[in-house]
Structure 1
Amino acid sequence: MPLMASAKVSPEEAAKLGIEGTELTPMGAIRAGNADGSIPAWDGGIKTPPVGYTQGGWYIDPYADDKILFTITAQNHEQYKDRLSAGQIAMLKKYPDSYKLNVYPTRRSASYPKEIYENSIWNATNTEFCNPSLGKDREERCVKREVYRPGIFFPIPKTGGEAMWNHTYYWFGKYYTVTHYGFNAFADGTYAEFATRERWIVPAAMNPDEIPKGDVFTRNGGAAWCFSQETLAPPRNAGSIFGGCNYFETTDFDAYLYVPGQRRVRKAPEIGFYDSPSSNSDGLRTADSKYMGAMTGDVEWYTWTAERKEMFVPYNAYKMAQPGISMKDIVRPGHINSDLVRYELHRVWAIEGKIKPGFRHLSPHRVTYIDEDSWAGVASDMYDAQDNLWRVSEGYLLNYYDVPTVHHFADDHSDLINGRHASNAGWPNISGNPGDLINYHVMPDPDVQTPAGLRKYGMR
């Protein structure tokens, strides 16, 4: 059912949450399986890394022996349509000879540190939006740090805004560095490549004594997450780097950009702002489409509603995370190689946004699909101004079991109108160097999130 009223929950309702034996998991997911058994009960997810895994090495596929149960194609999709998104159906119809869903057994692999479970349960009866609100259209855009502990903010969400906040600030580790190899593909399947290095510091995931010092991390009620992206290739763009933070009391991304040709740092309010073009995207992605959609800007432009449903979604993307894969193996006309994608049946939160009167966005209507076990995005549909389905995105999740946490390995954003598609976050295995993989064990230099630090890291 759609979510309605907003409030922190009562102790009686919070009692549904628990690490074992309760109706809901600590993250707010339904613990039980579904009626026909195609979704199993959650039993704690991946508890230890697979035999043979070493920290810093390739992520071994714990489900490598699983076989495809069935394949959804343009020819048979009608029998599965109740568990498909509008975007998936549109992709099946537009690319009937190449786009398909290979469906595997459902593995509810999501798992987190015990502290995150305990904190999320605590948050259920303590975390609430700022009251009074800091302004019009900011009623669900501010949380006081003292009523939150690192975990999920609203494990039993009562509104679409709470659900979207959970997704925007889902727990994906305290910090990391990763090298991404992305592409912007033309309709015929040719493509242009680029590479970036992302450095994340996530104060919302940290205890107070772990948070870096300095104004950039403490103002506006404290930083929630801080994100820096450095362009490594192509050569004409190499050396540009931006960094900035979102805050507990303002979800606007406070960003700064170092431009090598100008040899200076400037404030960059367009980075991360709603439908501004995302960096290195050739206009194929909006800033707020990262990780399948997230809140940005200082005020809320959308009215959000959310409901839980069953859906075939990308999950446990270990097959595409192995070494030896090249960009030629990945890119196909209109979408990535469907044989690389593992789909499973999961419950998701379908969070629908419709633009409020007085605001304008390239996509006035959108739906973001969120995995109930992790709050990470698995898919999204964006509609144009005439409410025609326009862009379809997929997020390829896996459990980084050395933390553990669930996060994206890669993504793909397809334009149904012009036939192009793009991937921004992912494919660190392209280089063949495990050193490019996500590193959750060394915190990036906090200076990279400051104007002075950007001068140090930017190539001159």
Structure 2
Amino acid sequence: MHIRRNCVFLAVGALLATGAVAKVSPEEAARLGLEGTELTPFGAIRAGNADGTIPAWEGGIKTPPAGYKEGDWYIDPYADDKILFTITAQNHQQYADKLTPGQIAMFKKYPDTYKMNVYPSRRSASFPQWHYDNSIYNATRAEWCNPSPGPNRETRCLASNTSKPGVFFPIPNDAAEVMWNHTFRFVGKWYTATAYGYNAFPDGSYAEQVKLDRFLMPLWIGPDAGGDPPLTHERFTRLGGGGLCASQEDISPPRSAGTIFSACLYLQDTTFDAYLYVPGQRRVRKAPEIGFYDSPGTGSDGLRTGDSRWTFWLTGQEEWYEYGPLQLKEIYIPYNSYKIAQPGLTFKDIVMKGHNNPDLKRYELHRVWVVEAKLKPGFRHLSPHRFAYIDADSWDGALGDMYDARGDLWRVTESYLMNYYNVPLPYFWGDDHSDLISGRHSALNSFYNVGPKGTAAPPDFTAKGRPDQELYTPAGLRKFGVR
């Protein structure tokens, strides 16, 4: 497979030793384009693969399917596709070169129930035109802060005024840039959604939880991102500008109802700067534990770490990991997951012993950036060695593998990607984090279709779904709190 010559086996440590320059030459950037170029505007290989199992990218889903209306549940554009073949515990060895260690471990752990239905690959990823234009612009301009703001922050600070809202490094030099592209990928300008999650026990039973998600992304709001007036509050403009701001309010279980956090991640400081409203105390406090490296993910009962959201994302001020050589591979990943997003499903339909219902999942062969991360000396993390598998067409996280301190494969993550074509935007609908040792598994509050009939709804990306920006300030968070 063709990969840009200066990407192959280039480790981040070598770059830092010479003073890394993230931008590429105009000649390299000329390979990017919307049509007729070797690479897409996002840096993915445009052409299909040699045996035709991955098609060429032709712009993805350009218009919603016939019959779709804003606010409706998503119609599956590929509902007529048939299963090509099914990978099982009995035949997975013949597909091993296109499976991850985590997937292979799941076949071994659950040989009677875990399977992968493989469908035709559809390169459905598509984005707004301004996002394509800005990504191409960034290729020759985006740079890290020089000098670095501190040790282990060399690739955690983007220099001001060197980029526009888009993919920052569409032709990545190393895995650190892949992680940056993934963390700050486009997830819409904002959205509001009632989101459902679960923590499942080894016998397949589970405890549900409901949260109100309110996301506001300062990075994607402004004249270079479609013309919206930029956010001007200091909460969104400091430290190079806010990359994303998130808030979650607990709806259930009752013991945590009314708890709200809001937090922002910045382009020059990837600490998840969080505040928490606790209704029992009726006050707002700083909450540095939220989203911090291996602190427990919110509502996860310890089954997810803060930095395993979206399979693996940058959080915390410093880089704790050293990244391995840049790799691009063909892997079977969850994609075009409209079946698991259909209305009327409940967690009884989805959750099984050890994993989610494979008959509701669709796998396709796609090119993914493989990020290998090993903990640096002097740092501690529950997972000293881990992998993330990032879809090359969208920069979305598709799969993740985490190893424990003994070097054993421990947790396996998959994310159910699909195109929210009304935006347009590739994003996840739900995910699953499986603990191979305990037999438990957990989902982020991201399933939107399992709520009570008449109240469940897809995320609202319209102006109506835009959160109040005061929610992300300590004073505003207190005002929103339920007493």
Give the TM-score category using the shorter length.
over 0.9
- Determine the structure 2 residue equivalent to 1:77: 92
Counterpart AA for 1:416: L
Deviates more, 1:430-439 or 1:139-148: 430-439
Regions of 4+ moved over 6 Å = none
- Calculate percent identity across the aligned residue pairs: 61
Are 2:200 and 1:185 aligned?
A: yes
1:437 to 446, 452, 458: 458
Q: Hey, what's the Cα distance between the residues in 2 that align with 1:329 and 1:210? A: 43
Is 1:385 paired with 2:414?
A: no
Determine the structure 1 residue equivalent to 2:4.
Answer: none
Give the aligned partner of residue 313 of structure 1. 333
Among 384, 399, 415, which residue is 1:395 paired with? 415
Aligned equivalent of 1:251, options 270, 276, 283:
270
User: What are the superposed Cα offsets for residues 140-181 of structure 1, whole Å, 9 maximum, x if unpaired?
Assistant: 000124111111010000011111000110112111111111
Partners in 2 of 1:174 and 1:267 — Cα distance? 25
The aligned residue for residue 446 of structure 2 is: 426
8 A contact 1:211–1:217 mirrored in 2: no
Quote the Cα distance in structure 2 between the aligned partners of 1:99 and 1:277: 27
Find the aligned partners of 2:194 and 2:36 in 1 and give their Cα distance.
Answer: 40
1:408 corresponds to: 428
Quote the offset at 1:456 in angstroms: 2.1
Contact 2:222 2:231 in 1 (8 A): no
State the alpha-carbon separation in 1 of the partners of residues 195 and 327 from structure 2: 33
CA contact (8 A) 1:73 1:96 kept: yes
Instruction: Give deviations 1:99-138, integer Å, cap 9, x for gaps.
Output: 1100000000000111100100000000011111111100
**Unaligned residue ranges in structure 2 (runs of 5+):** 1-7
Matched, 1:348 2:355: no
Note if 1:455 corresponds to 2:470.
no
Give the distance between the partners of 1:435 and 1:21, measured in 2 at CA.
42
Residues 231 and 241 in structure 1, CA contact (< 8 A), matched pair in contact too: yes
Q: Where do 5+ consecutive residues of structure 1 fail to align?
A: none
Rounded to whole Å, the distance in 2 between the matches of 1:366 and 1:18 is 33
SS at match of 2:317: coil
Q: Which residue of 1 aligns with 2:162?
A: 147
- Correspondences of 1:83-122 after superposition (within 5 Å): 83-122=98-137
Is 1:285 aligned to 2:304, yes or no? yes
> 1:422 is matched by which residue type in structure 2?
S
Q: Which residue of 2 aligns with 1:215?
A: 234
Shift of 1:324: 1.1
Residue in 2 that maps onto 1:237: 256
Q: CA deviation at 1:447?
A: 1.1
TM-score by length of 1: 0.98
Residue in structure 2 matched with residue 446 of structure 1 by the alignment: 469
Tell me the equivalent position of 1:304: 323
Farther off after superposition, 202-211 or 108-117: 202-211
Question: Which digits, 9 at most, give the CA deviation of each residue in 1:179-214, with x for residues without a partner?
Answer: 111000000001000001111111112225633221
Relative to the length of structure 2, the TM-score reads 0.94
Matched with 1:337 is 357
**Pick aligned residue for 1:2 from 6, 9, 12:** 9
Q: Determine helix, strand or coil for the equivalent of 1:452.
A: helix
Aligned equivalents of 1:51, 1:248: Cα separation in 2: 39
SS of 1:92 mapped into structure 2: helix
| TM-superposition CA deviations, 1:256-279 (whole Å, max 9, x none) | 000011110000000010000011
Given the alignment, which residue of 50, 64, 76 partners 2:65? 50
Distance 1:433 1:146 in 2: 46
For 1:51 and 1:64, how far apart are their aligned partners in 2?
Answer: 13
The one-letter code matched in structure 2 to 1:438 is: P
Match of 1:210, SS?
Answer: coil
Question: How far apart, in 1, do the equivalents of 2:126 and 2:57 lie?
Answer: 10
Aligned residues: 460
Deviates more, 1:447-456 or 1:97-106: 447-456
- Tell me, in whole angstroms, the C-alpha distance in 2 between the residues paired with 1:157 and 1:408: 23
User: Residue type of the partner of 1:275?
Assistant: D
Rounded to whole Å, the distance in 2 between the matches of 1:184 and 1:212 is 36
Look up the match of 2:3.
none
Q: Aligned partners of 1:459, 1:64: CA distance in 2, in Å?
A: 43
Q: Which amino acid aligns with 1:223?
A: G
Partner SS for 1:125: coil
- Paired residue type of 1:349: W
Report SS of the residue matched to 1:347: strand
Residues 196, 211 of structure 2: 8 Å contact kept: yes
What is aligned with 2:5?
none
- Asked if structure 2 preserves the Cα contact closer than 8 Å seen for 1:57 and 1:434, the reply is no
Please give the residue correspondences for 1:131-142 in structure 2 after superposition, counting only pairs within 5 Å. Answer: 131-142=146-157
CA RMSD of aligned residues (A): 1.1
Cα distance in 1, alignment partners of residues 50 and 81 from structure 2? 22
The 8 Å contact of residues 211 and 250 in structure 2, kept in 1 or not, is answered as yes
